Amino acid sequence: MATSDTYARTRRNSLTESLLGILGPMPKQSSGRPATDGEGRLLVDGELVESSSGERFENVNPATGEVVGQVADGSVADLERATEAARRIVDTHSWSADGPFRRHCLEQLADAMDRHIVTLREALVTELGSPVRLAAGVQVDPVPDKIRHIARLAESVTDTTEMPDDARGPVVQGRRIEREPLGVVGAITPWNIPLDIAMAKVAGALAAGNAVVLKPAPDTPWVPALVGRLAAEETDLPAGVLNIVNSSDHSLGARLTADPRVDAISFTGSTATGRKVMAAAAGEVKKVHLELGGKNPSIVLDDADLEQVVPLAAALGCFNTGQSCILPSRLLVPAARLSECVELAALGMESVTVGDPWDGGTFMGPLVSALHRDRVLAAVSEGLTEGGRAVVGGSEPGVGPGYFVRPTLVADAPEHGSLVQEEVFGPVVALQPYEDLDDAVRLANGTRYGLAAYVWSSDEQRAGAVASRIRAGMVGINGGLSTAADMPFGGVRHSGVGREWGTAGVEEFLELKSIAVTRFV
């Protein structure tokens, strides 16, 4: 028994180091303590301002439950002013016609973010509870280069395409296709990845020549407000091109969606809210881009090295405390080796280090709020009531003063039960056995979602064949992820409409115009 315990402990330690390696190295520049002076003003028509109402709301550190600052609570009047400023730019300014200037401004913003990267990173760790290594490796530090990639597209995305002449007897039609911006884009962003997601929308829309009104989630307000300060103080962005209105009033998002001055809405959030956004936009028949939820399968094929793959595949469901729409929340394993896979998956979940996000040895921090913690625990409790079995973790909160939960692995969850069918948005993984390859694909496609999927195999060609059968916008093979600046990000079915990042992410914010000129010969 002692030998077995020693082996398990050694294996857990090795897995923990592997997981921390995925986050990246500990950043050299870090104070190691929560920020206390984050930006709290709105960016409206080029000015950094307090709310017109004078109201502010509290920003809370989820690792401790303590209030760390105050943020201007944007009002209807502030949103009105921001929307009017964006409309003015679209209707009267040369912004949309000057691709080189748009590139210049976006590159200025990226450079400013690099100069203030520690401030941005520490604000995110403080208000989201993201481990500092995750913030540096994924959440914050890569974003400036992603913006630069999009900035380079600003000079070419609106190029005209000349088409071959259409000759019809004595008449010739000269033809071309022009690309032009949509106009005013309303961007509504979530709290879980507050910088990257906001910049996917802002950079894509601005590169295409639009003006933007950004309504961030109130749970993580400092990061977008800091972007507003950098835009106002360290770039040549014309006043009104970018407006950022933090608010605790969720109805502002609905107001922005229905506003006839707004030509398009780009929303990231839950599928339930996405449906409401689509319905609200229908009254004005405006373009809608939606990046919604996921219930993503991770399929371990029977030829994979189970001992190496299963623990890692399970533990990845705890990345960002499970608060990401693309994470694997369903682990599909061969039924013939179910008992072994349950043990290996449990080992993986037990290798996840939970605690202080400023500690370089922490893989998983707290959930973003007490409200969200209670939602996650209630979802787990419901799943256990339906017949699921908690192998690791469960429906009790984690330790500490903040909003912590335990990594949770659930076996025996019914195929049509809530833990298999509904997004939990926490570090909860449901393990499902499959009989054969066809059954694995059936289970993978057995939810209403279609955002991401993962396939693990020693045979890349076989894994690719499985990937082609999965209904999802993105598939990672043996740990691959489609999250680079030049790769389109998005899903199908109830996971959304449209794409972010890459050329496709800029083209989302463009309209096509066909022009034909008749010439008599």
Q: What pLDDT shows up at residue 6?
A: 78
Decide: 500 and 291 in contact? Cβ < 8 Å.
Answer: yes
Mean pLDDT of 3-31: 82
* pTM across the whole model: 0.94
């179910």: which residue's tokens?
A: 338
Report CA-CA distances (Å) from 282 to 261, 275, 287, 500.
14, 11, 9, 21
> Residue 2: pLDDT above 70?
no
Strand order in the sheet with 161-168: 161-168, 171-181, 510-520
Q: What pLDDT shows up at residue 1?
A: 43
Phi, psi (rounded to 5 degrees) for 518: -85, 130
Decide: 244 and 43 in contact? Cβ < 8 Å.
Answer: yes
Mean pLDDT of 35-45: 91
> Rounded CA gap, 196 and 85, in Å?
25
Q: Which two tokens stand for residue 403?
A: 């909003």
Q: How confident is the model at residue 326 (pLDDT cuts 50, 70, 90)?
A: very high
Mean pLDDT of 219-242: 98
Q: Which two tokens stand for residue 424?
A: 């939990």
Which amino acid appears at position 249 of this protein? D
Mean pLDDT of 372-377: 96
Task: List beta partners, residue 49.
Answer: 42
Burial (0-12, 13-18, 19+ Cβ within 10 Å), 463: buried
Average pLDDT in the chain:
94
> Rounded CA gap, 266 and 509, in Å?
9
pLDDT tens by residue, 254-293: 999 999 999 999 999 999 999 999 998 888 889 999 999 9
Mean pLDDT of 308-322: 96
Decide: 150 and 501 in contact? Cβ < 8 Å.
Answer: yes
Q: At what angle do helices 271-282 and 251-258 cross, to 10 degrees?
A: 40
pLDDT tens by residue, 410-429: 999 999 999 999 999 999 99
> Rounded CA gap, 436 and 258, in Å?
48
% of the chain with per-residue pLDDT over 90: 83
Q: What pLDDT shows up at residue 398?
A: 86
Q: If DSSP codes are grouped into helix, strand and coil, which group holds residue 175? A: strand
Q: What pLDDT shows up at residue 319?
A: 96
Domains and CATH numbers, the chain: 42-292 (3.40.605.10), 294-487 (3.40.309.10)
Catalytic residue check, 291: yes
> Rounded CA gap, 313 and 300, in Å?
8
Catalytic residue check, 105: no
> Rounded CA gap, 365 and 253, in Å?
28
**Residue 467, Cα to own-chain centre: how many angstroms?**
22
The neighbour count for residue 503, using CB atoms within 10 Å, is 17
Q: How confident is the model at residue 521 (pLDDT cuts 50, 70, 90)?
A: low
Q: What pLDDT shows up at residue 4?
A: 66
DSSP letter at 326? Answer: T
- Which member of 291, 422, 423, 507 is catalytic? 291
- Which range has the worst mean pLDDT, 40-49, 131-140, 275-284, 292-301? 275-284
Decide: 494 and 275 in contact? Cβ < 8 Å.
Answer: no
- Which range has the worst mean pLDDT, 106-120, 366-380, 473-487? 473-487
Mean pLDDT of 361-371: 96
- Which member of 325, 341, 423, 500 is catalytic? 325
Query: Which regions of 169-286 does DSSP assign to beta strands (E)?
Result: 171-181, 184-188, 211-215, 242-244, 264-268
DSSP letter at 29? Answer: S
